[in-house]
Structure formats: structure tokens, C-alpha cells
Structure 1
Amino acid sequence: MGLGKTVSTLTALDILDLVEDAFPALVVAPLRVARSTWPDEASKWDHLQHLKVKAVTGTAIERKAALNTKAHIYTINFENLPWLVEALKDAWPFKTVVVDESTKLKGFRLRQGTLRAKALATVAHVKVDRFIELTGTPSPNGLVDLWGQAWFLDKGVRLGRTFNAFTDRWFQQLRVGSDPHAVQLQPMPHAQGEIQDRLRDICLTVDGRDYFDLREPVVNTIRVQLPPAARELYRDMEKTMFMEIEGEEIEAFGAAAKTMKCLQIANGAAYVGEDAVEWKVIHDEKIAALEEIVEEAAGMPVLVAYHFKSDLARLQRAFPKGRQLDADPGTIRDWNAGRIPLLFAHPASAGHGLNLQDGGNILAFFSVNWNLEEHQQIIERVGPTRQLQAGHDRPVFIHYILADDTVDDLILDRLQTKRQVQDILLEAMKARGLK
């Protein structure tokens, strides 16, 4: 994630269309990515401005309306694939199909598998001329994950016409425990080299180390869109925030404090009542974005920065295998030993002296806050310098999950430019015509 798969694919399709009919193309992706990432990416680059990307998401009525809208590229989430195949039937128009995060196809079998993969299989080699798969982690559970994905590319030419043919050639079955039906597929010694060689002509790998200085982190900004109800609530709270700030000379801490309600709504939960103890969930857009980061990490540990107690409670509920960074030294030992898949840390508790670099090289900001020092400190816990000092030849990835057009943007501006909080808020007021 963050190495440019989306823009690279859009550019390739645009060039390809000069010599053959690449459009209309269908992109299958996780819901948030289908709804926002692909349309936003096309509008962000000058050379792609002419491409129209239409998201086929929402209710059945909204999806049908989207399909009836002329566009170059249509995007849909995996869950709606069976509906799409059934709705279009023989009128299937897509000669090019792109599957973003192709590991979701890894469980496909000719006679079993998920409904979405089976639906896609009915058109893959009959009505589709060009099939493209994108993933940063093609085999998160080992070589066995490759057959389902490869079948959609070549109908079994390279790795076997069936999954059994694939496993019979390159795996041995090891019994697990006393149950005769409980077996584990173990790759044979020759499997890795032979499978890689067979896939070599249809796979392209991009390694961040070839393009980035390991002394600098790879920064990826992930924007989520607030649902309509949450957006309306946010706008009302934003007006209140600016009214409280307008005309007052307040110190940086006071200015930052007045943005807390807006920041809570951006994160997805706001405190209610005078005692500000109870909180109410407003949306789960950031949770969904973090799920995608974790899925693409494919088992690699992820350090997650949060701000409010409500953030932590929601994260723990959504990711029950995660652990909170606490005062127990055993937590840090477990993290550095790779026994914690997600470590939830408040930047204030992850300051000087903590060594977390052995545990991972991926940091996700579920929420951001105005404190520049705390922000720099938590990055340094897994930062490039510590990675190199510890002997880890790997880039550091930093993901910022931001609610679009909210105070999140203002805070990121502060963190990147070190500008004063008051100046940023006053500028935002002027931009919105409130001053």
C-alpha cells in the first residue's frame, strides 16, 4: 500500500486504450476503495483528468443508475459481484477487469469457494479479454494462496487446471494431531523456485527499496468520506467551533481544545453529556480503512496510533487480537517478538526510550492530534533510523487515515509544516467564508 498501484494501473489502461479497446473497464475492490480511492486517484493526476470513473455502490437502485451512466471505468465492491453478474447476464460489457487486492480470490476452487469468486469465474475466461490483479501480498499464508489468483489470469495453464493438480505437484500433506482428516499442505523443496519461474512472465513486482531512501519513511495518506448524516453533524459542530474561536486571542492549547468535538466526529465517535464519559458511534469509515491496511500487511504487525478512549474501545472491539501499549514490560517484549498483530498506542505513552522497531515497520494513524512532539516521538519508535540501527533492511510505512475535508486536514498541515495552531484555524475560517 502506498507504492502507486492505482495510478500506475489507470495510466497503463489509458495508454493501452490507444491500441486496443481497454474501456469500459471494471475494477473490483474493497468497498471504501471502490467508492472513493479509484475515483479520487483519477481526478488527482493531470494526465488522467479525462478519465471518468463511476462507483457502482450503494443500493440496488443506485448501482443500476451508476451502470447506466457513461464512464471509462466502473468500480464495484467484492460483495456485489454476484449481483453484477446476474444483473448484466449476456450484456456483460467489460473486456478488461482489474481486481484490487487479489488475495480475496485465493480461496477459489472450481467446485467451491466464495460466491463472489464463483460469480467472477463465470465471466473471467469467457467475456473478459484482459484480467489484471493487484496486491502487495500475493501469498500471505504461503504458496498455497497462489492457485486461486493464478487461475483467473490463465485458467490454470501455469499452476494446474485444478487445485488438486497444483497441490499434488508441489505440496505434501502432513497430518496434524490424531484426526486423520486434519492435514496441512507443506511445500516441497522444489516448489518455491518452480512456482516463481512459472509465474515470472505474468507478474511484476515493485520493491519500495528500489525507489525510496530507506532513511525516509514511505508516507501514505488514506482519505475516507464521512457519510451524509455524519457530514451534516460535522458541519454543525464546525460552525460552533469557529464561533467559539472567532475574535478571541487564545493560546495554542486553547485553540486545539476547541477542535476536539470535530476531531471526535471525524474519527467516528463523539462524547455526549456534560461529564463527557459516554460516547456514541457515528460512523466506522476509519475502522474500514484500517482493516484494509491490516489485510494488506498480511500478518506483519501494525502499530496503530489513537487519540481518544473511544478510539481505543472501538479498535479493541473491531480487532480483538490487538493489544494496548501499557505499562507492562511484557507487552513490549511480545510486540518485538512478533506475538502482537496490532499494537494500539497513544502517542503520549510511546515517547522517549521505548524500542518498538523490532516488532514492525508499519505505523497507522487512526487519529491525529495537534501535539507535534508526540507525533514525532511515536514515529521514531519504529522509524528508519532505529530500523537500520537494529539491522532491519526494510522501509518504514506511515499511513494517515484522514476524514476528508475535516479538522484532520488542518492537523496534518500543522504536523507537516509546524505552523501555529491559531494561524491554521484562522486560515480555515477565512477559506470557509466564516471570517
Structure 2
Amino acid sequence: MTKLFKPRPWQPKMVQHMVSLERCNVFSGCGTGKTAATLEAIATLVLFGKAQRVLVIGPKRVARDTWRDAVQDFNPSFGWLTVAVAIGNEQTRRAAIEAGSVITTINFDNLDWLVTNFGAAWPFDMVVVDESTKLRGLRVSMRKHPASGKTYLAGQGGSRAKALARVAHTRVKRWVNLTGTPSLAGLEALWGPTWFVDAGHRLGNSFTSFSHRWFRAVPGSSPQQQVIEPMPFAEVQIQNAIRDITVVVDIKDYVDVGEYVEHIIPVELPAGARRQYDEMARDLATEIAGQVIEAFSAGTKSQKLLQLASGAAYTDDQGNWVLVHDEKIDALKSIEEEALGMPLLVFYHFKSDAARILKAFPKAKHLDDDPRTMAAWRAGKIPMLLAHPQSAGHGVDGLQYGTCKCVFFSTNWSAENDAQAIERIGPTRQMQSGFKRIVDVYRLVAKNSVEESAVRRLRSRVSVQEALLEALKNYQPQQ
């Protein structure tokens, strides 16, 4: 059923920001209607001749489904905005771009191809980056040639972001960064997306100058693998630097959506698993079921310890694994019983976890691209749905209809994926969908393990995120 776009109280603020500023950030969480608000801004700009063709970049699921579906949902308002999806084989992508649609969507993985094939005849005067934190790996700078005085692009960084940087300031007039989690990966994640807005004007012409100004090396980190941390004054100064180009929308300023309730479920490792865990932590190696499992670096050790804490460990690079313990399977069974029939959304980090859960719970189903899976989940026909936070965190809508309870079977270090995953069924989504129910988040955490440290890190990262958004939200530009 289609409907007219009727702005919610917080959406005009987003629309006005995108219309009035040629290049800007919109920091707004899941469920606040970023897509619809951006379509309203695009429609306004096109109608007044301020934009002609818009490129929307996002994760694959977002680029493939979200924008086209939103135009269809609000067909009376936006149906005239033609949409082409540049995903698939090269012939399909090329046809979509050459169709001349007002909006063309593409996923991040195809940016290299897009710039290589269309950079010289770039057809888009406006770019919208949905989930702009994906650009945080940029490490470039604009420099002037000493002889000719011409400006050129130099530097390193992720290939997709670097490819996009080649056209960002030479071919694109209007730019919008959309995200609900701008700094969950740390304040250092703000430089890349901000560079696409202002070419380094606010946070520094290069990541090197940015890091030298506001960060310092963590004591003990080596020059080869240097880890940086923000200096005490960094957060406030960085906030002040990007206030004028950033709008923050928090739905909690307008309606009472409540908070989710977090439950930490401690899991005691059996004696054998505890011995193997301690050996890995101490010696970078242990023996399980007659197989020696080794870690060859600190990073590998961290992952091995997370695997052991979760209940299975990989024995090679081919995906083979051995069982360590089933304590978390037992804990998940207890949660299922206490849920009293409410379906569970279960997040996992290792494929071995998913395999074990599917074996222990025969009626469980893995979230996939088949639309029938989501339809069955929304209809309450799937008692347990498995998803990886990275794949479920972006562009998946409808999970909130199936449940208000999620379980993190295992833990990892990405605060961004963690927060995005929770928000898919979180209080905002529940409220937007007409439900008045408490959201429960269960975390199965092995006692005296690296998982406890990971959970503490997730919480500290969120506090940085909240502080940033709060400071930017209260910004009043000088007249």
C-alpha cells in the first residue's frame, strides 16, 4: 500500500539541512526516516533545478532494495523520481547508469569500476552516501604541483574510498553523508567521511595532519603497528570543527521510545575448555581433539580466544573447526524457554556458531536474501532467526515485526555493527511499527574471558558516540 510522505516532526530538520547546504552530514539513527527525508530533499532540489542526477552509494542490500522500495512506498509523493539499480554484472550496471534515471543506486564494491569507466564523463551532480562510515578508510590529500600549480590527489587508503575521492570534489556539486553511527569505530573514523564533504578544510588536509593534531600513539604500540588514541581535548575540538556542516536527529528528543534492557548471561567454561583457553592465552597454542591450534600474532590470538569462549575453534584456513564446549547452546535453550514463545533473533560472529545453533535448534532459520524468509519471520513462522551483525546491521528492515528479543551468542569488537544490529529491533523500530513492548538484549559472555573485555569496549565506544552526537545536536550556528 502506497502513501503520501507526511514528515514526522524531526524530518523537516533533516530536509532543510540537505537543501540549504551543498555538502553536509546527517547523523540520524535507525528508524528516523533518513531515506524518506533524503528523497524529499532530492525531490525539492530537482524541482528547483539544483540537482539533476543523484548517485546513492550504500551496502549491497541498501543499494538494491531500500531506496527503490522507499520510492514505491511513497509513490504519490516520489513516484516520479525514477530509480535505476546498478548492481549485478557489468552489462546490468552499465545499462542502469546509462538509463538516465534521476536516482541511481550502487554498492560500495563497485565504486572502483564506476570511477574507472565513467570518471571522465561523470554523470552525477549529487552524491548521497548511505552508511558513510564505510568511507572511514580514506587516506588521501589534495596537493599542488610545485611547477604547474595544479591540484592533484595523493595518498593511500581503501581502494573504494580512494576511487570515489577522485571525483568527489571535481565532478560532484552536492554531497550528503548519512549515518546513525558516525564515531562508533572511534573519533579517527570521522576524518574520511568529512574529507568528502570539505576536502580536509575542517579536520586537516590529510589523515596524518589530523592524527598528529588530535591523537597520540598508545604506549607500547610499535611503529609498524601503531595504535592511536585521542588526546584529552580532541573530542570537543573535533565536534566544534564539524558542527556547521552536521545535523543530528535523535528521535528521543521528540517521543519517548524508552531504552532496551541488556542482560549479561555469564557462561562458565568447563574445566577442559578453561585449560585450553588458558593455554592459548599463555602459549599461543593448545590441543583440542588431538589437533594443535596455534595463534601467530596478537590479533590472531584475540580471535582464537573469542572462538574458544564461544564454543568452537577453527583448525585451519579452510573453515574446519572442532567443538570446545556447548555451554552457550545450553544457555540459549534457557533463554528460548523463558521467552515463552516470542521468537528470538540470534546474532553470531563465527560460522561455526551458526552451524552449531542450527543443529541444536532444527526449526531455526538463517537470514538470507530470499524474500520469503523475511515474510515468514514477519508472520511469526520462524521461532529463531540467525544473522551476522555485519550483514543485518545495514539495509534490513522488518526484523522488528518478528520479535523484541535478540541474543548475541558470541562477541566481537565492532561497536558499529553491534549498535546497528540492536537497532534493527530496537525501541525506535518498535515504536515506529506500532508496538509498545520492551526490547531485551541478551549477551552470552564467557566468564573470565576476552569476551568480557569486548563487551566493555563496546560500551565505551557507544559513550564516545553519544557524546559526539549530543554535542553536535545542541549546536547553534552564529548569525
Please, what TM-score do these two structures have when normalized by structure 1? 0.54
SS of the aligned residue for 1:70 comes to: coil
- Deviation, 1:161, is 0.4
> Which residue among 22, 39, 42 is the counterpart of 1:10?
39
1:182-237 Cα shifts (integer Å, max 9, x gaps):
432121222111111110110010102012223599xxxxxxxxxxxxxxxxxxxx
What does 1:258-277 align with in structure 2 at a 5 Å threshold? none
Q: Which amino acid aligns with 1:294?
A: G
Aligned pair in 2 of structure 1 residues 131, 340: CA closer, same or farther (>3 Å)? closer
Aligned pair in 2 of structure 1 residues 195, 31: CA closer, same or farther (>3 Å)? same
> Which residue among 64, 75, 93 is the counterpart of 1:63?
93
- C-alpha distance in 1 between matches for 2:211 and 2:368: 43
Q: Which residue of the partner structure matches residue 251 of structure 2?
A: 208
- C-alpha distance in 1 between matches for 2:422 and 2:368: 25
> Which residue among 170, 173, 179 is the counterpart of 1:135?
179
> Which residue among 428, 440, 446 is the counterpart of 1:381?
440
> Which residue among 8, 11, 20 is the counterpart of 2:49?
20
- C-alpha distance in 2 between matches for 1:153 and 1:377: 39
Kept in 2, the 8 Å contact 1:26–1:98? The answer is yes
Structure 1: runs of 5 or more not aligned: 218-268, 270-275, 316-321, 325-334, 345-358, 366-375, 384-393, 395-435
1:149 aligns with 2:193: yes
Percent of residue pairs identical: 40
- Deviation, 1:339, is 9.4
- Deviation, 1:292, is 4.7
- Deviation, 1:55, is 0.7
- Deviation, 1:86, is 1.5
Aligned pair in 2 of structure 1 residues 377, 79: CA closer, same or farther (>3 Å)? same
SS of the aligned residue for 1:175 comes to: coil
Kept in 2, the 8 Å contact 1:28–1:99? The answer is yes
SS of the aligned residue for 2:128 comes to: strand
Greater relative contact order, per chain length (Cα 8 Å cut-off, separation 6+): 2
Aligned pair in 2 of structure 1 residues 360, 9: CA closer, same or farther (>3 Å)? closer
Kept in 2, the 8 Å contact 1:32–1:288? The answer is no
- C-alpha distance in 1 between matches for 2:95 and 2:128: 21
> Which residue among 234, 241, 255 is the counterpart of 1:191?
234
- C-alpha distance in 2 between matches for 1:15 and 1:60: 32
1:103 aligns with 2:133: yes
Aligned pair in 2 of structure 1 residues 363, 30: CA closer, same or farther (>3 Å)? closer
1:313-368 Cα shifts (integer Å, max 9, x gaps):
xx9xxxxxx417xxxxxxxxxx9xx99989x9xxxxxxxxxxxxxx9993656xxx
- C-alpha distance in 1 between matches for 2:364 and 2:251: 40
- Deviation, 1:279, is 10
- C-alpha distance in 2 between matches for 1:363 and 1:207: 13
- C-alpha distance in 2 between matches for 1:139 and 1:288: 24
- Deviation, 1:5, is 0.8
1:297-322 Cα shifts (integer Å, max 9, x gaps):
9xxxx9x9699xxxx9xx9xxxxxx4
Q: Which residue of the partner structure matches residue 291 of structure 1?
A: 390
- C-alpha distance in 1 between matches for 2:393 and 2:161: 21
Aligned pair in 2 of structure 1 residues 47, 363: CA closer, same or farther (>3 Å)? closer
Number of aligned residues = 273
- C-alpha distance in 2 between matches for 1:144 and 1:94: 29
Aligned pair in 2 of structure 1 residues 296, 185: CA closer, same or farther (>3 Å)? farther
Kept in 1, the 8 Å contact 2:51–2:126? The answer is yes
Q: Which amino acid aligns with 2:409?
A: R
Aligned pair in 2 of structure 1 residues 14, 289: CA closer, same or farther (>3 Å)? farther
- C-alpha distance in 1 between matches for 2:115 and 2:159: 11
Q: Which amino acid aligns with 1:6?
A: T
> Which residue among 93, 108, 114 is the counterpart of 1:78?
108
- C-alpha distance in 1 between matches for 2:41 and 2:223: 49
Q: Which residue of the partner structure matches residue 117 of structure 1?
A: 161
1:162 aligns with 2:261: no
What does 1:34-433 align with in structure 2 at a 5 Å threshold? 34-45=63-74, 46-110=76-140, 111-176=155-220, 179-215=222-258, 283-284=368-369, 291-294=390-393, 322-323=408-409, 362=422, 364=424, 379=438, 381=440
- Deviation, 1:85, is 1.1
